[in-house]
Structure 1
Amino acid sequence: MSETAELEKPTFRGPVDWRLLKVSRTTRNWVVLAGVLSAAKTLSTVAIGLLVGSATAALIENPGSSLVMSTVVYLIAAVIIRGALTWLHTRYAQQAAAKTIVDLRAKTLKHLASMDPRDIDQAAWRIRLSQGLDGLGPYLTGFLPALAATIIATPLILAVILSLDLGSALIAVFTLPLIPLFMWLVGTLTAGRTEQRLRDLATLSDQLLDLIAGLPTLRIFRRHREMATEVRRLSGSHATSTLGVLKIAFLSSFVLEFLATLSVALVAVGIGFRLLDGELTLAIGLSVLIIIPEVYNPIREVGTRFHDAQDGLIATDEILTLLNKTTPLIDASPAANHVSGGLSLIVSGLSAQGRDGVHPSNLSFAAHPGALTVLWGENGSGKSTTLLAILGLATSGISGHIKVADSAGQELKGEQLWKHCAYLPQRPVLDAELVGDNSQLSLGQRQRLALDRELSRGPADLVLLDEPTAHLDPENAQLIIERLRLAADKGATVVVVSHDPLFKAVADVVVNVQ
């Protein structure tokens, strides 16, 4: 497994993060499709503008002309085509966004599962993978299509206007850069505010979960009402950061709308004077007036969608940084469906440097098939870290040697080891889709249910359990011990972290961890 470095602070990488296109095939396909649809919609928009201008001018100048009816027929066809293109855009945009979010979430979870859990900020990643990543939807459904329309539609429409009226084209060329300039200025400020909002939300979520977990203890000491003040403070901090982002978003929207409206007004005034002087025909003047807003509309849409997509962009930046810095632990050796004669575990000189010292320190022991091995020691002595190191999940600050091999001496690592291993942490997480609503279960009931599901997946050659009887009464604890004793008698290598004297009494090997 590669060592995981601390993630860098997200940086602004421009309107398109090319790492996302590299990681997600769905996003690549959607960008191409969005470009094609934008080009087609641009052509239909230009056609509608020209047809409306021609039909209106013909109706005013020559009401009885047959040209009016034929133009109206073509106009209806163009409107229908544009409506169909808009429907296709909406449909495929939602599908692409949903698939991309699911794909990124799955890849990120796979990478996080291969990292040292001691180095993972659970509160921050919980927010990034839920609300943060969900914010990628507006980016894919709105921002990217608007950007594609800006790149494709704006030059095409400018070329059409240039062919119709040079003066209007010059006004559009000189006023158009003002919109992205102000969008960049406001967007740079918004990015920092959005990062702060996500950090506040992560802190709020983490502390609320801690308060909920400790609520029974707080009630015992009659201190639970004092937590309302802390909850109000956290909520106020999140509300303040959210309002800060919204204020800038509203301000930028006002600036963009004002600049676009002013630019269109300048074009309209110029066309009006030239119509009075007879320099333009009515058909050309009306066509330009109808088409000119479409020059500014895509870039206005980019500015509007930019704020909607900030949560997703920031969360995605951190996710893509993770995916580029680390790779899932995959063993290069060929995977085996069966192992020869069970698995043996040998730990030599294991030490783990943590925030509160070296725990464990120079730990050595061996566990063999058919034996029940108990890791015994005080809280904080490094017993749980030892299990994580055996699985290859704890990597930072780890020294020593760990070998898991079958009777033929073939060493197992990574996913090959995990296929033959059953692992249960101190606080197992139950999948509600598999076990149903478990909110009413006690910690002991959850442990028993999690153990049942873990062992029912199939016979495991190596069983690693962290305090499996910590929340059970003696009767239920004895049932768990008997079940693990039976698994060991059938040839499994069972290693248990425990403070339970019942486990120590039946253990084949007791390892004192210091």
Structure 2
Amino acid sequence: MRISRPTRRWIALAAALSAAGTLATIGAGLLVGAIAAAVIEGPAPGAPVPRTLLAALVAVGAARGLIAWARRRLGRRAAAAAVVDLRARALARLAESDPRTVDRARWRTLLLDGIEGLGPYLTGFLPALAATAIASPAALGVLWWLDPASAAIAAVTLPLIPLFMWLVGTLTQGRTERRLRDVGVLADQMLDLVAGLPTLRAHRRTATPAAEIRRLSGAHRESTMAVLRVAFLSGFVLEFLATLSVALVAVGIGFRLLDGSITLAAGLTVLVIVPEAYQPVREVGARFHDAQDGLTATGEVLALLDGAAGAGVAGAAARDRHPGAAPPARGIRVEFHRLTARGRDGARPRDLCGVAEPGAVTVLAGPNGSGKSTALLALLGIAVDGVTGVARAVAAEGELRGAALWARTSYLPQRPALTPALVGDASGLSLGQRQRAAVAAELARGRELLLLDEPTAHLDQANAARMLTRLRAEADRGATVLIASHDPLVLAAADHVVEVGR
């Protein structure tokens, strides 16, 4: 509710619709009891005739149908808006996270299949929960007014349903998390297999991954069936408790009708209304399992969004500072001093020292895996875990960090993501075309600091030369151009080369 405006609007609307639905349901129960008593015993003196009551019942039924339609239609819209909002926020936060620590398979599953389960939560579980908070107390109040004994039975048995829901829910949570984890592993393995099919086919090993795929599919099948078994068990428990509770009320009313301690109209009305006291709680239990995938995925997304904003900037600011040279008169100077990033494969880079000046093309050179990309991420404040030393950008007014640095920087990763607003439908573009389009879009911004990670990796020699000519023009106008690359063409065009070692 705190971070998603569509969710806040829908919760308020769902509560209002639940309140209206409760009034319509209680009104229908009172009318049904009065009509049945009038038909069996005859209309009481001064009471409305059954025809008038029947017309009122039709109107109340139409109102209930309209409320149910509005809840379904508006709920689907709210769910779609909330999913899009949360997905966009999560992607924006992941884009600022250290890529060395991001589990791509897990987040791919959560943001694609997992978060789509938020729809059943918002359209089914949440309205049912609102109805429980509104409809059940209202129904108990009407029952108390009509028949205190039946209300007492309902008040005693009603809490049993949430108790068993909680017991079953503790079993469901772990199984749902396991199912999502199995889906993520299976999807990641399938994507790797598809990417490697040309190599497997060239070496005649296309049948080799079959056993592993069967094993992962079996794990996914077992985790899914475990969730379904618990769902069926909980459904049986909820229906049994609700049916037994209504039966207890019905038996008590039957005995009291025999001894005349309750009127037929009151007894029939209680029998019509008492299931409505249990129905919202039963609906919550039924919708609980539908919403588990979405709740689990959304919990992960909210944990990501609730993390300290700008953690990368804070981490960068906490490192040891190197005094460096005086700030440049114009433009932005980049300084690395004993920059070291420790990861699973050791320190990459290790003790990196170098400077990139305005008006020059500087290249971070080194073999693959030496830490060139990590150095750029450390400069931007994205890579902070295990990073020591200094990576900073200095302008005339002093050191730039966080939003101030990003506002004056164009950063191009190895595999840039293109938006339709930039190039239209980018699905048919090759990697080289995407690279060229992304570079053109970034250069059009006219930023003072250009950080490019392997910009010529997917280009032929002619297109690489054209790109380097454009980058040289940017340097001539005063921009600081810093490139991470081991391409001989890039190294030949550089003004300064900084070796990055492991």
Superposed pair shares fold, TM > 0.5: yes
Which of 159, 174, 177 is 2:141 aligned to? 159
Distance 2:428 2:75 in 1: 40
Alignment pair present for 1:28 and 2:17: no
Residue type at the aligned position of 1:424: L
SS of equivalent to 2:56:
helix
Output the CA distance in 2 between the equivalents of 1:212 and 1:74.
Answer: 63
Residues 375 and 495 of structure 1 are in contact (CA less than 8 Å); yes or no, is this contact kept in structure 2?
A: yes
Give the equivalent residue in structure 1 for 2:443: 455
- Pairing partner for 1:426 from 397, 414, 420: 414
Query: Scaled by the length of structure 1, what TM-score is found?
Result: 0.88
Q: Deviations over 1:287-329 (max 9, x none)?
A: 1111111011000001011111111111122222222222147
**Change in CA separation of 1:327 and 1:191 when aligned onto 2, cut-off 3 Å:** same
Question: How many Å apart are 1:485 and its aligned residue?
Answer: 2.0
Q: Which moved more, 1:194-203 or 1:249-258?
A: 249-258
The aligned amino acid for 1:427 is R
Over 3 Å counting, the alpha-carbon distance change for 1:431 and 1:219 in structure 2 is farther
Tell me the amino acid that sits aligned with residue 232 of structure 1.
R
Q: SS where residue 470 of structure 1 aligns? A: coil
Q: Deviations over 1:428-461 (max 9, x none)?
A: 23346754555554433332333233334x2222
Measure the CA separation in 1 of the matches of 2:94 and 2:2: 20
Partner of 2:478 in structure 1? 491
Q: Distance in 1 between matches of 2:24 and 2:48?
A: 23
Q: How far apart, in 2, do the equivalents of 1:36 and 1:212 lie?
A: 50
CA distance in 2 between partners of 1:268 and 1:295 (Å): 14
Alignment partners' CA distance in 1, 2:338 and 2:351:
4
CA deviations over 1:459-507 (Å, ceiling 9, x no partner): 2221111112223332222222222222222222111111211211221
Q: Secondary structure at the match of 1:233?
A: helix
* 1:257 partnered with 2:239: yes
Give the match's secondary structure for 2:354: strand
Q: 1:354 aligns with which of 327, 343, 366?
A: 343
Partner of 1:465: 452
Question: How far 1:27 moved relative to its partner?
Answer: 2.8
- Which one of the candidate residues 26, 35, 43 is aligned to 1:55? 35
In the other structure, the counterpart of 1:368 is 357
Q: Which amino acid aligns with 1:31?
A: I
Q: Which amino acid aligns with 1:416?
A: A
Q: Answer yes or no: is the 8 Å Cα contact 1:111–1:328 preserved in 2.
A: no
In the alignment, the residues of structure 2 paired with residue 206 and residue 388 of structure 1 have an alpha-carbon distance, to the nearest angstrom, of: 25
Partner in structure 1 of residue 493 of structure 2:
506
Which amino acid letter does the alignment assign opposite residue 365 of structure 1?
Answer: G
Runs of 4+ more than 6 Å apart: 329-332
Higher RCO, 1 vs 2 (CA within 8 Å, ≥6 residues apart): 1
The number of residue pairs the alignment matches comes to 486
Which residue in the other structure is 2:319 paired with? none
Corresponding position: 1:94 with 2:82: no
Q: What is the distance in 1 between the residues matched to 2:429 and 2:197?
A: 16
Provide the C-alpha distance between the structure 1 equivalents of 2:92 and 2:201, rounded to a whole number of angstroms. 38
Q: Which amino acid in structure 2 is aligned with residue 36 of structure 1?
A: A
Change (3 A) 1:219 1:445: farther
SS in 2 for 1:223: coil
Q: Does the 8 Å contact 2:337/2:351 carry over to 1?
A: yes
Say whether the 8 Å CA contact 1:373–1:510 is kept in structure 2: yes
Structure 2: which 5+ runs fail to align?
315-327
- Which residue number corresponds to residue 476 of structure 1? 463
Q: Which residue number in structure 2 is paired with residue 83 of structure 1?
A: 65
Select 1:410's aligned residue among 395, 398, 405: 398
Contact 1:114 1:329 in 2 (8 A): no
Q: Report the CA distance shift for 1:216/1:492 in structure 2 as closer, same or farther (over 3 A).
A: farther
**Residue deviations 1:97-149 (CA, integer Å, cap 9, x gap):** 23322222222222222221211111111222222222112112211221121
For residues 267-416 of structure 1, the aligned pairs below 5 Å read 267-328=249-310, 341-406=330-395, 408-416=396-404
Distance 1:492 1:274 in 2: 91
Structure 1: distance between partners of 2:346 and 2:313:
31
Gaps (5+ residues) in structure 1?
A: 1-20, 333-338
Question: What residue number does 1:443 align with?
Answer: 431
Q: State the SS of the aligned residue for 2:355.
A: strand
TM-aligned CA distance change 1:159 to 1:268, over 3 Å? same
